[in-house]
Amino acid sequence: MMYNSSLKWDTIYDVIVVGFGGAGAGAARFAADNGARVLLVDSAPEGSEGGNTRYAGGAFAWGKNFDDLKDYYEQTYYPFAYDPKALDTFIENVIKMKEYSKKYFGIEAKGTGRRPNGEYPEYRHADSMQSQSMTQGMYNGGFWKLLRKKVYERLDKIDVWFNSPVEHLVQSPEDGTILGVSIKRDNQVRFVGAKNGVVLSCGGFENNQKMVQNFLGQGSLAPIGSLYNRGKGIDLAVEAGARLWHMSNYDSHGLSLRQNEPREKFAYMINWKSLFNGSIFVAGDDGARYFREDEEDRHGYKYNHGNWIMIPNQNHPHIVMDQKQYDQLAADTSAKADQIKELISYAIKADTIDELAEKIDAPKLKQEVADFNFLTDEKKRDMFLNRKIETMRSFSEGPYYAIPVRHNILHTHGGAQRNEKCEVIGLDGNAIPHLYEAGELGDIFATKYLGANSIADLLISGKIAGENAALPKRKVLKVDAITGASKVPELQSDAHTSTANFDAGKNQGIGMSSNGISDLPIVVRVTVDNDDKLKQIETLQQKESPSLGGKAIPVLTKEMLENNTTDVDAVSGASVTSHAFKEAVSSALKNLNK
């Protein structure tokens, strides 16, 4: 939307960062470190921020040799065009990632050992890129908590607004400079000015089915990350006159269970080696096989006549097997045994292949089973899809089973084109003044996503965008704020790091613990009587798992009050939450106001 003289700013910051994921956390942190007063906003409620970084493994790319790395990246781009300056800047920073880890997090990054020969070992210098990590373990939220902590250490310079979606960018009608944003907060539209810059770091569009269909040409993909990446950054960029790029690029982990839920189960099943080993294959909509089941997943890309392409999206595929395979999986003892046993519990059963084909609407299934058996028993070679013959066993007698599955999507890469300074490029080829971009929204990857590169990119682009957005600009906002965030409760920050943000009366104490499952601390208020006996325990803040930790807290509260002690047994299955809650209550008792 264009600025006009009737618009009044509710408050003004130096920098506004749109999206509190990994890239947004970095942009806010580095903008603050460069002297900016920052507003960090997210459409998600508190406890659900983090974007896809919350679900990421946390490994980032690193290498030693610039020329070798560039040669490797250029091969993965081919035949797509790329911005040489943007790619060079990215590679220069990838080489420095171990120093980045040490300098900005105080952590010595360690190699993960994953894919030592590269995700595409067929390419020259594939081993020039290695995977590093700053945290122990993967997919446990540790990396996200690390980035979030750096924001919370700077709350004197960074205000955070949750559940506050940005609706529009506010733009100068004269030269297109981005002056601020409009935000819907507490059912009111608030206009917030940005003196120096706005950073778009609000993720991709994997949860926007219309965009998925229009840009990716896919009918049904199951998101396996954040449910809040809905493509708003693309709308904002288009509104500002940005040029889009990489809109068709996305990555996945193959297949998930299909229950038509917002986020489906078993995102990584395509890498379970004991699953696709025997009388089993994946059937497309018509019942025919359409990809090699035992091929290692390359973020969804599969070998195709000398190239690697995304698996063609089927609308209702199934994993098909016979009774012998079902029994084999039911007795599986691999590391994925529990998940495999849960997976097969969703199987559709039929006595004959004809009956199964009718149940799953797969008219070519009977012929495909016959062809599978012919390849296994007669040809002893999968001459069409090249699956290893030792992983194939012909189908025997029924009954037969089919598990409904769905293609999944990890994240998209399309968005506004950005340059090496993370400035957003307009349709005229020039940077849109005061507008920046970071993270997977419009990243530099045109095709063939390489593992660990999105984490590297969010660290790199977050820093570049935050630092450049913080630079003082010549253009000054035309009007001052008519209110101040410190004067209007609705404009104050939602982020708190101390018990001072919660009230306690006589015989009451506030306690906090950051050792739960959630990255949001558990905060309690304890009330005692005049004899110091526990009278009331109130949970003022918590975002523990609803199915485990959320159910444990009421149980622990009841037992503590009944026994007048914090020394109660942890709730089974929720030991982490139990210990954190007990720690918070104990802390509150030490902080009693007498």
Residues 254 and 177: their CA atoms lie apart, in Å, by 42
Q: Give the pair of three-digit tokens for residue 4.
A: 């006009």
Would the CA dihedral through 429, 432, 437, 442 be positive or negative? negative
The one-letter amino acid at 565 = T
Q: Residue 236: its pLDDT value, please?
A: 98
Sequence-separated (6 or more) residues with CB below 8 Å from residue 93: 100, 456, 460
Q: Give the pair of three-digit tokens for residue 25.
A: 């956390």
The one-letter amino acid at 98 = K
Question: Cα angle vertex 286, ends 283, 291, to 5°?
Answer: 35
Task: Find, among 407, 374, 393, the residue nearest to 321 by Cα.
Answer: 393
What is the number of alpha carbons within 13 Å of residue 455 lying toward its C-beta? 27
Report the C-alpha dihedral over residues 571, 573, 576, 581, rounded to 10 degrees. -30
Residues 457 and 267: their CA atoms lie apart, in Å, by 23
What predicted TM-score, i.e. pTM, was given to this entire model? 0.88
Measured from the Cβ of residue 213, the count of other Cβ atoms closer than 10 Å reads 13
Query: Which residue blocks in 80-228 are alpha helix, DSSP H?
Result: 84-94, 97-105, 142-152, 209-211
Which architecture does CATH list for 255-407?
A: Alpha-Beta Complex (3.90)
Measured from the Cβ of residue 221, the count of other Cβ atoms closer than 10 Å reads 24
Q: Give the pair of three-digit tokens for residue 118.
A: 């590269």
Q: Give the pair of three-digit tokens for residue 265.
A: 């189960």
Sequence-separated (6 or more) residues with CB below 8 Å from residue 308: 120, 298, 301, 302, 448
Would the CA dihedral through 187, 546, 577, 151 be positive or negative? negative
- CATH 3.90.1010.10 residue ranges of the chain are 499-590
Check residue 48 and report its DSSP letter.
Answer: S
Residues 360 and 520: their CA atoms lie apart, in Å, by 44
- CATH 3.50.50.60 residue ranges of the chain are 11-250+411-488
Residues 252 and 259: their CA atoms lie apart, in Å, by 18
Q: Residue 47: its pLDDT value, please?
A: 87
Q: Residue 232: its pLDDT value, please?
A: 98
Residues 542 and 522: their CA atoms lie apart, in Å, by 5
Asked if 241 and 427 count as a contact pair (C-beta separation under 8 A), the reply is yes
Tell me the sheet residues that pair with 256: 406
Check residue 298 and report its DSSP letter.
Answer: B
Question: Cα angle vertex 158, ends 50, 228, to 5°?
Answer: 25
Residues 460 and 464: their CA atoms lie apart, in Å, by 6
Residues 254 and 303: their CA atoms lie apart, in Å, by 13
Angle of the 22-33 helix axis to the 142-152 helix axis, nearest 10:
30
DSSP per-residue string spanning 320-350? EEEHHHHHHHHT--STTHHHHHHHHTT-EEE
Q: Burial level of 419, CB count in 10 A (0-12/13-18/19+)?
A: middle
DSSP per-residue string spanning 477-511? -SS--SS-TTT-GGGS-----SGGGS---TTEEEE
Q: Give the pair of three-digit tokens for residue 457.
A: 């990119």
Q: Residue 594: its pLDDT value, please?
A: 82
Sequence-separated (6 or more) residues with CB below 8 Å from residue 518: 47, 542, 543, 544, 545, 549
Q: What is the pLDDT along the chain (594 residues), one digit of tens a residue?
A: 898 888 999 999 999 999 999 999 999 999 999 999 999 999 999 989 999 999 898 999 999 999 999 999 999 999 999 999 999 999 999 999 999 999 999 999 999 998 899 999 999 999 999 999 999 877 778 899 999 999 999 999 999 999 999 999 999 999 999 999 999 999 999 999 999 999 999 999 999 999 999 999 998 799 999 999 999 999 999 999 999 999 999 999 989 999 999 889 898 887 899 999 999 999 999 999 999 999 988 999 999 999 999 988 899 999 999 999 999 999 999 999 999 999 999 999 999 999 999 999 999 999 999 999 999 999 999 999 999 999 999 999 899 999 999 999 999 999 999 999 999 999 999 999 999 999 999 999 999 999 999 999 999 999 999 999 999 987 666 555 565 555 677 888 888 766 567 888 999 999 988 888 777 789 999 999 988 899 999 999 887 867 667 788 999 999 999 999 999 998 887 888 898 899 999 999 999 988
Tell me the CATH class for 499-590. Answer: alpha beta
- CATH 3.90.700.10 residue ranges of the chain are 255-407
Q: Give the pair of three-digit tokens for residue 462.
A: 């977050």
Tell me the sheet residues that pair with 17: 40, 199
Query: Which residue blocks in 303-434 are alpha helix, DSSP H?
Result: 323-330, 337-344, 353-359, 365-374
Cα 389 from chain centroid (whole Å): 36
Does the domain at 11-250+411-488 match CATH 3.40.50.11540? Answer given as no
Asked if 22 and 144 count as a contact pair (C-beta separation under 8 A), the reply is yes
